Amino acid sequence: MTQPQSGASHGSIIHIGAGDGAELEGYLASRFERIVLVEPEPDRAAAIEIRCANDPRTSVIAGALTGVDGEAELKTYNIRALDGLCHPTGLQDIYPGMRVLSRVIVPTLSPAALLKRIEPLPGPVRLVLHATGVEADILNAWPVGDANSQLDSIELRCSAARLFDGGSDLSALRALLQMKGFDEISSDLSDPDWPKLVLRQNALRLELDAQRTLCAQLEGRLAEADVALESASSAIATKNGRIELLEAQLLEAEAAQVAAGTALTENQAKQAELNGRIELLESQVSEAEAAREVALKNTREATEAAQVAAKTALTEHQAREVELNTARSDLAVTLRMQAMLQSDLRDLQARYAETLSVRQQQEDLLRKLTPRLQEAAQYIQDNSALQSEGRGQLGHAKPRKPQSRKPKKLPGAQG
């Protein structure tokens, strides 16, 4: 049974993988100020808790300590000491009769979570680590730099060979612990397959390692500073060159300024002269503009007058065009009417000629008719006279002579 060193604080003990609590009696009889028992198998954890219910120093945590918080499957074997979370690999070669009794899902705790649950934890703290296959995970995850997590000693029971999937062998664990600043105090190799080691924190070496780490960091920072210094020096040199250049430019600028000042003075004199000329020209321009305005006005008036005259002329021209077209139209109508009248006249002349011809025929006919009628009249008269002689003596009637009357002669009539 492990005991805290005499003369120091009694400290605390954390037993990972308490199992059936074989060490519990020893713990309870000790002067540890705090006793933390972590057992993943629920029944065992419950049994342990019953046994230490009356001791206020104890804390029983039912769960498995691993590198992370969560859940995992706990396998219990017919060799209870081999219970664990990891899958056995070479273990079955050592224990061919090994078989799984049960599988149960158990909660897992990381070292940081465990420490937070059980704080405060009076130091020095002793860690008893019986967690087959996960020893390296626990040790790597153990927080450092915190007084509450600082381990003073470790009692480790592990496998000499790598017997679990993901697990580590004795050599690897020794190296890990050495790297973490633990010196091996004692080892129990009575069971060559399951050696026990007791290791103690070498504070000096830890400090030395820390200082070395710090020194390395400082050296790195120094190197960075040297690089930065060199870079800064280079920048300063560049800037100095730039400054010199600017100073030279400044001198040049000052010289140029002086020259510019001289030129400015000259320019001002010229400007004064030019201003005088400008004023003179402006007055001339004003006079010219006034004259232009007058000329424009005169031109505009003349243009307007010309436009009015042109418009008047156009209107007159259009009116004359209308008159001309009207006259043309009237002339066309007149010509046609004249043609119609000429046609009428020719028709009348033709009909008149025909009428004269008919009249001439009639006169001829009448001339022919007259002597015949005279003969007829004479014949009748003679007949009448003869008839009268038959009734008595009548005188002979004298033959009738036509009364002479000249007929009217029409112009152009024949005969």
Given the rule CB under 8 A, which residues bind another protein? 332-333, 336-337, 339-340, 343-344, 346-348, 351, 358, 361-363, 365-374, 376-377, 380-381, 383-384, 387-388, 390-391, 400, 402-407
Q: b vs e for 38-67, b when ≥16 Cβ sit within 10 Å of the residue's Cβ?
A: bbbbeebbebbbebbeeeebbbbbbbbbbb
- Using the minimum distance from each CB to another protein, give the nearer residue, 220 or 402: 402
> Shortest approach of another protein to residue 321 CB, angstroms?
21
User: Is-contact 348 354, C-beta < 8 A?
Assistant: no
User: Please, what is the minimum distance in Å from the beta carbon of residue 377 to another protein?
Assistant: 4
Among 164, 17, 174, which Cα is nearest to 81's?
17
Q: How far is the CB of 390 from another protein (least distance, A)?
A: 7
Residue 344 CB-density burial (10 A; 0-12 exposed, 13-18 middle, 19+ buried)? exposed
DSSP 279-345: HHHHHHHHHHHHHHHHHHHHHHHHHHHHHHHHHHHHHHHHHHHHHHHHHHHHHHHHHHHHHHHHHHH
Q: Which is nearer to another protein, 89 or 374 (CB)?
A: 374
**What's the angle, vertex CA 186, arms to CA 185 and CA 189, rounded to 5?**
155
Length of the chain: 415
Dump the DSSP string for 336-372. HHHHHHHHHHHHHHHHHHHHHHHHHHHHHHHHHHHHH
Bridge partners, residue 104, by sequence: 74
Contacting residues for 287 by C-beta, under 8 A, at least 6 apart: none
Q: How far is the CB of 338 from another protein (least distance, A)?
A: 10
Q: Among residues 189 and 340, whose Cβ is nearest to another protein?
A: 340
The nearer residue to another protein, 259 or 335, going by C-beta atoms, is 335
Task: Give min distance, CB of 364 to another protein, in A.
Answer: 9
| Residue 238 vs 361, nearer CB to another protein | 361
Nearest distance, CB of residue 361 and another protein, angstroms: 8
103 vs 368, beta carbon nearer another protein: 368
Q: Using alpha carbons only, give the angle 221, 226, 232 rounded to the nearest 5 degrees.
A: 120
Q: Which residue, 273 or 347, is less far from another protein as judged by CB? A: 347
- The dihedrals phi and psi of 413, each to the nearest 5 degrees, come to -75, 145
Nearest approach, Cβ of 294 to another protein (angstroms)? 59
Q: Which one, 275 or 334, has the nearer CB to another protein?
A: 334
Minimum CB distance to another protein, residue 386 (Å): 10
